[in-house]
């Protein structure tokens, strides 16, 4: 079967950035930075993104583009008759669990959109915004319906195929999201006492860091870049040889850091200005942003637009999670794509039902002291994704020859050679060692 391809070079960058930018940078980053140490957390997150995330992203691109095949077959091509293709299978299982709870939050955005349009968010006090969020996400039927709607949107686009659906949507969404975020940040940093919020995000206080928050920062760096699950392998498999991989990877890293920074700058000034707590948890952006928007002229209209873009951002990430299954199970047989997207998408919805209800009727069901939603999130973000990342960082230098790697990423110049060497050694040594150290630290092996 012929392999599908992205239509343009920039189209790939937008699609991969679309996978990266989503709930991770906009919803999760501010709230875990809020609980995990503010500026110090942000700095550690940046450090992991640049030193571990960037080499790994390029590593996944190389695997995908060179193999020109889905996440499972790709590893088989380099290491036939071995167990390395388990990396691809692990990625698929991880995305399956991930999308099941990701779609729950996607549903919350739809609920907020609905509320904003029908005027339910107008004229509330700060406390009321927080309370409203709690009430809305506890309702079983509406949250399940919203989650289903979110999944249906993802299914319809993925069923259409990568370049028709995913590429087009991402190309519009990302620039629009940037513009709206800029407007939001301008409003947020000009609120009273906004300086406290800016300091909270940008001035590090390392005494606030714990082993757990370092693991969270590591998980977050991989989560926001969609790493360790071979999604980026799958996306890069639709690339022609002419694409400059380092440029693509660096662009995505920069865009991703900028979005996290913009999200932080949009939210923390508001948090401090309205006298809220930065460690409020998942409610954070849903309680703070309506309040910031309510301080603007035409705030409701801006807020509706923001929610639409936020929904798009979450959807473009969801597409990539669903795409990895569809690619791996159809093996590019286009006739099967539609059926697979629907079956898998609906199965994921069913798996997500307990996570959805864990904010309402199942809130008392705790496993290892966590709700089902939190357990899924923790397992995916802080165990499975770093584990996948560790395996990929071992696989690439071990199973792909140095000359083949060089061919894939060389830029044909002297600085290209230096770039290659920095990348190669970061991936071969720094990435795996750093991941293992963070794990050992959390498990208590490094305690004095």
Contacts with ligand PFF, residue ranges (CB under 6 A): 19-20, 22-25, 95, 98, 223-224, 226, 229, 231, 317, 320-321
What is 5-42 written as a DSSP string?
--SSHHHHHHHHHHHHSSHIIIIIHHHHHHHHTBHHHH
Q: State which residue, 103 or 194, has the beta carbon closest to ligand PFF.
A: 103
Least spacing, CB of residue 224 vs ligand PFF, in Å: 4
Q: State which residue, 68 or 224, has the beta carbon closest to ligand PFF.
A: 224
Pull the structure tokens for residue 308. 């639409």
Least spacing, CB of residue 314 vs ligand PFF, in Å: 7
Q: State which residue, 18 or 397, has the beta carbon closest to ligand PFF.
A: 18
Least spacing, CB of residue 170 vs ligand PFF, in Å: 13
Q: State which residue, 223 or 376, has the beta carbon closest to ligand PFF.
A: 223
Least spacing, CB of residue 231 vs ligand PFF, in Å: 4
Cα–chain center distance at 320: 10
Least spacing, CB of residue 319 vs ligand PFF, in Å: 9
Q: State which residue, 26 or 291, has the beta carbon closest to ligand PFF.
A: 26
CA–CA dist 19, 16 (Å, integer): 5
Cβ proximity of 251 and 243 under 8 Å: no
Here the contacts of 181-186 (C-beta below 8 Å, separation 24 or greater) are 181/259, 181/262, 181/263, 181/266, 182/262, 183/302, 184/262, 184/266, 184/289, 184/292, 184/293, 184/302, 184/306, 185/262, 185/265, 185/266
Q: State which residue, 22 or 299, has the beta carbon closest to ligand PFF.
A: 22
Length of the chain: 448
Least spacing, CB of residue 361 vs ligand PFF, in Å: 26
Q: Terminus-to-terminus CA distance in the chain, angstroms?
A: 57
Closest residue by beta carbon to ligand PFF: 24
């Amino acid at each position: 079967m012929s392999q599908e391809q992205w239509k343009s070079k920039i189209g790939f960058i937008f699609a991969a950035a679309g996978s990266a930018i989503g709930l991770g940078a906009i919803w999760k980053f501010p709230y875990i930075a809020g609980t995990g140490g503010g500026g110090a957390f942000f700095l550690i997150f940046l450090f992991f993104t640049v030193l571990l995330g960037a080499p790994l992203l390029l590593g996944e691109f190389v695997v995908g583009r060179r193999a020109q095949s889905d996440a499972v077959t790709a590893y088989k091509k380099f290491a036939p008759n071995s167990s390395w293709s388990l990396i691809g299978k692990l990625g698929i299982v991880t995305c399956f669990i991930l999308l099941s709870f990701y779609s729950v939050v996607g549903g919350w955005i739809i609920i907020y959109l609905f509320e904003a349009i029908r005027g339910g968010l107008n004229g509330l006090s700060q406390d009321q915004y927080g309370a409203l969020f709690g009430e809305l996400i506890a309702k079983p039927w509406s949250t399940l319906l919203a989650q289903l709607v979110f999944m249906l949107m993802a299914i319809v686009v993925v069923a259409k195929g990568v370049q028709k659906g995913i590429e087009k949507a991402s190309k519009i969404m990302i620039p629009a999201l940037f513009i709206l975020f800029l407007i939001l940040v301008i409003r947020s940093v000009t609120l009273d006492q906004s300086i406290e919020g800016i300091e909270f995000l940008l001035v590090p206080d390392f005494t606030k860091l714990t082993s757990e928050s370092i693991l969270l920062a590591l998980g977050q760096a991989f989560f926001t870049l969609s790493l360790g699950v071979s999604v980026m392998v799958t996306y890069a498999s639709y690339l022609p040889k002419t694409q400059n991989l380092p440029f693509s990877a660096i662009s995505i890293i920069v865009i991703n850091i900028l979005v996290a920074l913009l999200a932080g700058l949009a939210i923390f000034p508001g948090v401090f200005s309205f006298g809220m707590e930065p460690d409020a948890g998942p409610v954070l952006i849903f309680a703070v942003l309506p309040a910031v928007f309510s301080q603007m002229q035409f705030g409701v209209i801006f807020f509706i637009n923001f929610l639409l873009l936020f929904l798009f951002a979450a959807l473009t990430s969801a597409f990539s999670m669903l795409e990895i299954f569809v690619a791996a199970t159809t093996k590019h047989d286009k006739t099967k794509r539609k059926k697979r997207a629907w079956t898998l998408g609906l199965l994921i919805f069913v798996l997500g039902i307990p996570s959805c209800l864990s904010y309402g009727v199942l809130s008392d069901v705790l496993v290892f002291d966590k709700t089902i939603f939190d357990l899924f999130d923790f397992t995916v973000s802080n165990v499975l994704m770093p584990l996948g990342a560790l395996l990929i960082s071992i696989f690439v230098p071990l199973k792909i020859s140095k000359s083949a790697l060089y061919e894939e990423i060389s830029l044909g110049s002297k600085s290209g050679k230096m770039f290659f060497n920095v990348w190669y050694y970061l991936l071969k040594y720094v990435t795996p060692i750093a991941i293992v150290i963070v794990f050992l630290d959390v498990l208590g092996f490094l305690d004095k």
